[in-house]
Structure formats: structure tokens, C-alpha cells
A and B are shown apart, each in its own frame.
Chain A
Amino acid sequence: MTSVDTEVPSRKFFFREAIARALVEEMIRDPRLMVLGQDVGAFGGTYREFAGLHARFGAERVRDMPVAEASMVGIGVGAAAAGTRTLVSITYMDFLLLGLDPLVNYAAKLRYKTGGQLRAPVVVKTTAGAKGQGVAHSQCIEAWMMAVPGLRVVAPFTPGDAYGLLKTALREDGPVLYIDHKRLFQTAGPVPMAETFVPLGCARIVRPGYDVTLVSHSYALVPTLAAAEALAAEGISCEVIDLRSLAPLDLSTLCQSVARTRALVTVEEGQLTCGVGSEVAFQVRQEVAIDRVARVGAVPAPVSSNPVLEAACLPDADRVQAAVHAVLGTRSGDGPHRAKL
């Protein structure tokens, strides 16, 4: 699916405002929808992403919870299964680990294990990524969550998609893990004026191109797009795809692109081992037989708060460019791109 952002009447919002807007709309529509989490009430969320909800909908529907992720998620899941849709905010994705039992062992399995009698329409919203906060406040572990049958996983990059994906997630009839990134909250971008839904399993071509397909998601699109820009000056045309939805993956868009470019580089902030890129690369290669594939991801070390070491761990535009050159057999400074194979 190609970008339609520029064709639709939009207004520029901060990333956090896109989230709040989706919630306001859905909380008006569904008078039972509740938000649960740490600092979501009067405080309005760590990133002010829930600003205004508490004042508008009250403390019954926007509830602060103590730091106890297993019960945050479990209560959100149980309430949803019993008819009260919930959004559970887990401020740091690292601490989602403490709430994985109710999410993975119960919510994701509920529909299956009850033969369809029960479902858990819960959105667990969490913020991933490194931004100088240390080894236990920096992880991107969405790849682990993609492998859970019964669990949907989405990750917006733009404010428009933050809004559209959250709208969709809040209408799903099963559990959805919605993952944003610390650094995305600094950004602003167009959000459609009209009510809009970004479907699950729908990637977006952010930058059309023809020499290589770059596939990424969330904040990793920043170094990816920067690399694409630099490579364009060298005569290499990159097609950049924003996954938006990790489970399900939009294999169709990915394969159509790679069928044209015949080269694939995946870029993520998470680990390469069993990473998003591994899954994308293998699934694409099952459909489109190419051997020009590379993955870019974090260095296999914990991401500490040390500014030098954190930067060394994370993928940057230089590493993406290097991966593209390696895959294409070109070198930086080669000049206009030589004829494709």
C-alpha cells in the first residue's frame, strides 16, 4: 500500500497528540473503554500521550495503577475478556516482560483455548527504544512478540500511523501489542482530519526506488531514510518500506518491491538474532528468490546509557549505507550506479 498522506486533508500534530486523539475518539464511541497504567491519569502519561483523557473521561475510565505489570496487564486482559475493552500502558517495553504471563499465556491463547467462547480485546501499548536510559530501559523486543500466535503486533513511525494504527488496534477483537519508540515523541507530522484506520498487515512505501528495498519499522526508519538520501546522491535508488504491522506482516508489498529491486536490506534497532529482519528476509526469499540480502540491527550487547557505547550499539545511516553497498557490490563514492544485473 502506498502512502496517501499527502493526498488526504491533514493537520500537523505532535506524535503524542495523535495517540491522545485516537483514544478520545474511541473512548467517546465506546463508553466502556478504559485506560490503565502508570501515570496515565492526571499526569497524562510519561510523554503526555494521554493528556486530557483523565479530565474528560474521569478517574473511573483513566486509572493510574501501581508499578505491578503483571496485574496491569492481567486486569486489562480480564476486563476485556469480560466485556470492558481496555488499553494498558506499559511505559517501558523492557517491563512488558513482567506482564507477559497474562498477555502471552492467557490473552493470546484465550480465543483458541476456549474454542472461540471468549476473546480478550485488549491493547497493550508500550514504548521501546534507546535514549540514554540504560540497559533495562532501552530494549526493542518486538521480534520476540511477533512469534506468539493470537497476538497482533503493530509499530507506527509517523504520527499519522500512530493515530491510524491505534484506531485499528482499539477495534480488534483480540489482543494487540502497540509499540512506539521514545524518540518518536519528539517528532511531529500530518494526521488526517477525518477518522482514519490503518489496517493490520499493511506496510507503506515511504520512498519509492528501484535499486534496493530497505525494510524497517519504528524509529529505525530515521537512519534508514537518512541512508537512502545519502545513497541517492551517489546514484543508488532505495525503495524504503515502513512495515507498520509486524504481526501480521504485509508480505505482498514486500515481495512486490523485492521482485523489482532484487535486493533487500532490513533495518531494525532490535537484535539481529531471531529479529524482525530475519523473519522478513526469510519470508520474502520464500517467494522471491534473491541472494542479495543483508540485515542491519543492534550490536549484540546490552544497550547501556553510556553515550559512546549506546551510539556504538545502534544502527545508524552509515551502517545502513554500508549494508546497501555490500549487498549491491558497490562502494561508497562509486558515482552513478552501474547497470543492474
Chain B
Amino acid sequence: MIYKLQVPGPIADVEEIRILEWHGAAGTLYAENDLVVELETYKAVIEVRAGQAAYLRAVLCEAGDWRRIGETLALLSDSVDEPLPTTTNADDLSALTVAFAIV
């Protein structure tokens, strides 16, 4: 199954974030609780951790990019060679379970 990694929320007073740093690349396997990406809000950094095991398949934005709460940042999957969807519409995809902490 293909999952979308979304900007987590809601976070008080936060409408948009800036990608700070990816921890991994296409092909990286995350175990539960591994750090996937760090996002910057206006006042803090958010550590987004995998809430389930999954392979990172496609990184859709890079460090320095801005995204809003709920927007898709990347695609992940249960197995490493599952074919990715051909369309760019992420509405049909399931959201990856994540845990996030504000540091």
C-alpha cells in the first residue's frame, strides 16, 4: 500500500511550515519511531517520526520549501518495489501514521 506523508497538525497558530531537513531518501526503510523529516514552524522545529514501518519512495519537496498543514510531503509504501501511482493526486492515498513532537 502507498501512503502519503502529510504535514501533521493541527498545531496552534501554525498554518504553514518550511522543510528543514529530510532524514532519509528514496529507498530508506523506517522503523516505527524513526525520524523522517524535520519541519520548521514560526517558533519551533517539528520532528516527524514514522508511526509505522514503511519505505520512503518519493520525496515531493526539499529543504527550504514551504507547505501548509495537511499537504503531502512524500510517498511511502509497505514494500520497497510497489509501483507508485501515476497520477499526482494524493487525495485517494492513505495517510501514513506519524508521531510528531515540537522541540
Contact = CB atoms under 8 A, between A and B. Distances in A.
Please tell me whether chains A and B touch each other in their complex, using a CB distance cut-off of 8 A: yes
Contacts of B43: 16, 47-48, 185
B19 to A, nearest CB: 12
A186 B14 contact: yes
Where chain B touches its partner, the secondary structure class is: loop
B47 to A, nearest CB: 17
B62 interface: no
Interface in B25-54: 40, 42-43
B78 interface: no
Contact of A186 (B15, B18, B40, B66): B15
> For B16, B40, B42, which residue has the most chain A Cβ atoms within 10 angstroms?
B42
Contacts of A14: 18, 40, 42
Contact of B66 (A16, A48, A185, A188): A188
A187 interface: yes
Interface of A is mostly: mixed
Interface residues of B, number: 9
Contacts of A16: 42-43
Given A186-B13, A186-B14, A186-B15, A15 B42 contact: yes
Contacts of A187: 42
A12 interface: yes
A36 B16 CA distance: 31
Interface in A1-20: 12, 14-16
Contacts of B40: 14
Given A14-B42, A187-B42, 8 more contacts: A12-B66, A14-B18, A15-B42, A16-B43, A48-B43, A186-B13, A186-B42, A188-B18
19 contacts: A12-B18, A12-B66, A14-B18, A14-B40, A14-B42, A15-B42, A16-B42, A16-B43, A47-B43, A48-B43, A185-B42, A185-B43, A186-B15, A186-B42, A187-B42, A188-B16, A188-B18, A188-B42, A188-B66
